[in-house]
Amino acid sequence: MPKIEVKSLPERKGSGYPAPFHEKCIDRVRKALGDAGGLTQFGVNLLTLMPGAWSSQRHWHSAEDEFVYVLSGELALVTDTGEEVLRAGDCAAFPKNDGNGHHLINKSQAPAVCLEVGARSTDDFVLYSDIDMQIDRKSGQYAHKNGMPYPHR
């Protein structure tokens, strides 16, 4: 397996969420490690969250498992059952279609870094627990929960 030069990979900063939902993720930076290695069955991202940044809006997937492993720093994992701290060496798993909305928030004063691993299902549907938003991966369009599309940002 060829070595992936992580430092040379492009960074994806922020999110594609419609306004105003993108604002909490402005200081989120991802590097697509799985894409760089040519993976197609699952994705792996190196995620860096600056102080105050969110990994995403709180969400769950209908057809994708997710897994996170904290490499450095401290993150708050927020789920339907509340909030708990994840530190370097901690991990969390989110089975597909369990309905437990989740996300990470960096509430510390230093950057935090984790690995995100997830399936790549084209049949996935994502529901956002705390806001009026959903996305069908087939269309790639963010929409209200009644199906009305959000305008592109």
Number of domains in the chain: 1
Is residue 22 over pLDDT 90?
Answer: yes
Residue with tokens 């102080």: 51
The pLDDT of 62-68, averaged and rounded, is 97
DSSP string, 62-129: SS--EEEEEEESEEEEEETTEEEEEETT-EEEE-TT----BEEE--SSS-EEEEEEEE--TT-EEEES
| % of the chain beyond a pLDDT of 90 | 93
Share of the chain above pLDDT 70, in %: 99
Q: Is residue 125 part of a domain?
A: yes
Identify whether the C-beta of residue 142 lies closer than 8 Å to the C-beta of residue 150: yes
Domain assignment present for residue 150? The answer is no
- CATH code: domain of residue 87: 2.60.120.10
* Residue 144 within a domain: no
Over residues 45-59, the pLDDT tens digits come to 999 999 999 999 999
In a domain, 152, yes or no: no
pTM of the model: 0.94
Residue 40, domain extent:
27-131
**Residue 35 in 3-state DSSP?**
helix
77-100: average pLDDT = 97
| 67 pLDDT above the threshold of 70 | yes
In a domain, 73, yes or no: yes
The pLDDT tens digits of the residues spanning 104-131 come to 999 999 999 999 999 998 899 999 999 9
Which pLDDT belongs to residue 1? 58
- For residue 123, is it within any domain? yes
Residue 7 lies in a domain: no
31 located within any domain: yes
Helix or strand or coil: residue 56?
coil
- CA dist 76 and 74 (Å) reads 7
